[in-house]
Chain A
């Protein structure tokens, strides 16, 4: 993949991918800075990072559900370490603080890394979800620069959008490189189950609120998507145990009216004279793991016929919003791995160029700016941000189509073209050619203003990209 890495940026050929261009630029920088051990170490670090899976940081205010969301994504319940914790794929469970291995213990059925004063813990865990993703659980209060410096993309968690949340996201967008290559952030309403006092339909109204945030003028330019996730429920869905399911089934065997009074509050649920024979400790365990809302929902679901563990898990994954969260991570983060990595590397290079200016660095800075300005992937991102933020508006249907074609819903050609069936190769080809021709017209349409025509030409370039993908 990095075979063209030796090429110098001076002899770049047309059609070179962004990845190759950035790699070459890093190589050039290494040559310029070969006598500075600090810069070399920094740049080598960024080169190494280039080949890694996408790093996604999970950030947010205290108690916004960060560790819970991380646990739900990995499929294993972790006790928060209180430090910045990296979760990577690995053959067996292992944890490191610096170079030292620390034991991974079990505490109340949760994975527990015993590293009390560590600043940074790296956990390796065998999980399919971590194959193309590294998750970083950042403790609340981590400075914005650290979060966005370490990670390629960010899941920002909040319970309810507060002005402090807005400030955090606005600061993240203030960096010059970040501005030309809009940061990929997904906003997550992470404790959706608590909305409306834990009513049984809390999740659907949480989804509506997320939809409102997607349209809110102050929020839209700062994140690519907003989704509601019931964190506790999502973790429970992925880790529900046989005995827990049995206990829930026993609860569900009672009539709704009989159980109702005992589900009024968490205190009542673990209280005396319970109608079923369930040990208070078991009930305490259930309410801790599922939340009172989770118990209400699961018993209702079991009564509605999702009465096996597999059926229930499927329902919970879907209802908790975990499925949607995974899709968003796929569309916005892992599919865009290349551009996210390139962006992170350029940000890293920018730091070196500014910290240690020297004769050769002016040329590097120009090359960096050129890549930022001309690389199509960045132009796609910028257009997408402009369309979402309302800075660029296209007439009628074109607006939605343009944002789809530049990868607003995902970068797969089928998604870009909005095809909901599996087309034959010639059908696909026709569709691309047809779209391309239409957008070429738009790009030269005198009825559109300059900005709109420029937007259209970015779309044209995206269509051409799809075409070469088909041919190649």
Chain B
């Protein structure tokens, strides 16, 4: 059974073709393809050790995600449909602009390879991808297992929030051994702001004897927090065992049938509503454009007189000229604004990094980098990441503002003037990971050698002096002096080493910050360029469409002038019929969107 929106869309596409508008038809066909092949991303999120990975495994009945007793999941894992089981690790680009690297691995080794990454050396691992043949995933569902939020290593958490941006729905996981904590509720609220489609899954009900009470309490917590989300209790252990033994009753007991039904109904079905809405908007805009020339033609005929038809023709010509003149304007606005944006963003980033560097310098005026370097490194990393995130968020904000400004300077006002999304999907992958600077260690042997070197001078100096007094070269005084000199040299040397270490640390930090700046500003510039390109494409398509519409009206006006009377009669009838057809189609579109598109504003 095809969805109702599909019929309407197909009819609209046919109407576009019939009205000589292949450009519109193309655009709608594009939309149709995207709606027919939706990747529905469902994010599995929650605090560490709540059973997220095990939940995903139990949903697809296969050990695709690594599970363990300690922190295990370190990168998001994408589980999607594939004809044959396959798996791959995706590593981040080492140089900006090169695409991410995808390394296929045997599916049974994926789990161990991902957790092997934990050591931190393979820090550039971005995500893991798994494809398995499952009916559940058939509809384009992608399950994304994420690292726990609130873990001691903030890097894991960051990738979870990056994945959240692309999610269509979220399964929030909390185990039944304890109620939702304050931090979990906060996380839930945060999730709701970017993706309102949330189901709370209560896991591990097999080991919690009191899970029913926890369920009730959680329900109360959710109500109090004003979160309207379904709560589903499940047990992955029971489900996996049921799969092994083929025990239907046990499967029912695990709560998974209910969860899967909920995913099907609330998430997959909800996607249909979403699709209907976007399709309705696109189709409505196309029909409006089709209606305009027909109406033009009709009104041209209604006035009948050739003087009027000539006036209409002139008017159409004038509007085409106007459009050409104004399209130059929006192009200038776009180019200017984007140039400003890039330099502002770069200035902001430079300012932020300079502040960090100043802080570093201040710290290493006094502190010894050999002690607490790890802490410093973490601090630096945190600060840089923060600077990068704020800077990047600003870039996104500004570019949206630019889009609006360009839209304003566009010749006509339309509903779909603003692009849906101008940001590249992989924009977040592009921020390259950072290398750690090394700090030289110095050996004790060197120290002893320095001491000896100093003491040698002392022995010689005083030995010579005292040898004048007839004592041997090596005597008590010269040896004493030697020891003193040695001590002093070591002191001086270690002081000097401290200063050298501080200088080295400063240099390492500033080199690191510079590297970061260069890499990140390049990334930002790339992103900005990408955004500019997509904005330009978007607006030029719109402009072309508009021009085509105007030309069509001009052509029909010209035809009206040329046509003889009887022909005119026939065409009049045709045009009326076409208009009726289009209005009918528009009404269907309106029904589809649930009355959310504005009325067409014409009467046939």
Contact = CB atoms under 8 A, between A and B. Distances in A.
Interface stretch (B22-30, B37-45, B46-54, B404-412): B46-54
Contact of B238 (A62, A63, A208, A265): A265
B238 A264 contact: yes
A197 B51 contact: yes
Given A62-B181, A266-B206, A447-B447, A161 B253 contact: no
A202 interface: yes
Interface in B164-215: 175, 177-179, 181, 183, 204-211
B177 A194 contact: yes
Q: Which of A164, A219, A265 gathers most chain B CB within 10 Å?
A: A265
A181 to B, nearest CB: 20
A448 B451 CA distance: 12
**Interface of chain B, main secondary structure:** loop
Given A162-B48, A206-B69, A265 B205 contact: yes
A212 B70 contact: yes
A197 B206 CA distance: 8
A171 B69 CA distance: 29
Contact of B54 (A191, A197, A218): A197
B70 A198 contact: no
Contact of B444 (A202, A219, A447): A447
Given A61-B181, A62-B181, A162-B150, A266 B207 contact: yes
B438 interface: no
Contacts of A161: 152
Contacts of A196: 68-69
A234 B211 CA distance: 22
Contact of B178 (A62, A209, A216, A266): A62
A61 to B, nearest CB: 7
A446 interface: yes
B88 to A, nearest CB: 28
B206 A292 contact: yes
B388 interface: no
Nearest to B444: A447
Contacts of A449: 447, 494
B152 A166 contact: yes
A198 B209 contact: no
Nearest to A286: B209
Contacts of A163: 150-152
B177 A264 contact: no
B238 A446 contact: no
Interface in B478-525: 486-487, 490, 494
A293 B207 contact: yes
A291 B208 CA distance: 7
A197 to B, nearest CB: 5
A239 interface: no
A450 B490 CA distance: 11
A352 interface: no
A172 B206 CA distance: 37
Given A162-B150, A162-B183, A217-B374, A264 B250 contact: yes
Interface in A275-313: 284, 287-288, 291-293
Given A162-B47, A446-B451, A202 B69 contact: yes
Interface in A183-204: 191, 194-198, 202
A160 to B, nearest CB: 5
Interface in A49-97: 61-63
A288 B250 CA distance: 22
A209 B236 CA distance: 22
B179 A63 contact: yes
B372 interface: yes
Interface string A383-416: 0000000010001000000000000000000000
A209 B70 contact: yes
A212 B118 CA distance: 13
A63 B182 CA distance: 12
B238 to A, nearest CB: 6
A446 B448 contact: yes
B230 interface: no
Nearest to A448: B444
B241 interface: yes
Given A196-B69, A208-B70, A265-B235, A160 B208 contact: no
Contacts of A191: 177
Nearest to B247: A261
A450 B211 CA distance: 58
Contact of B152 (A205, A218, A264, A284): A218
Interface string A145-174: 000000000000001111110100000000
B33 interface: no
B174 to A, nearest CB: 12
A162 B486 CA distance: 51
A267 interface: yes
B178 A205 contact: no
A203 to B, nearest CB: 10
A86 to B, nearest CB: 25
B152 A216 contact: yes
Given A194-B175, A264-B241, A292-B209, 11 more contacts: A63-B177, A191-B177, A205-B69, A264-B238, A266-B208, A266-B209, A287-B209, A291-B209, A293-B207, A446-B451, A446-B487
27 contacts: A61-B181, A63-B177, A159-B49, A162-B47, A162-B48, A194-B204, A197-B204, A197-B237, A206-B69, A208-B69, A212-B70, A219-B152, A264-B237, A264-B241, A265-B238, A265-B253, A266-B205, A266-B206, A266-B207, A266-B208, A267-B206, A270-B209, A292-B206, A292-B209, A446-B447, A446-B451, A446-B490
10 cross-chain pairs, A with B, having the tightest CB-CB distances, nearest first:
A265-B206, A266-B209, A205-B69, A63-B178, A198-B207, A196-B69, A160-B49, A447-B444, A287-B209, A162-B150
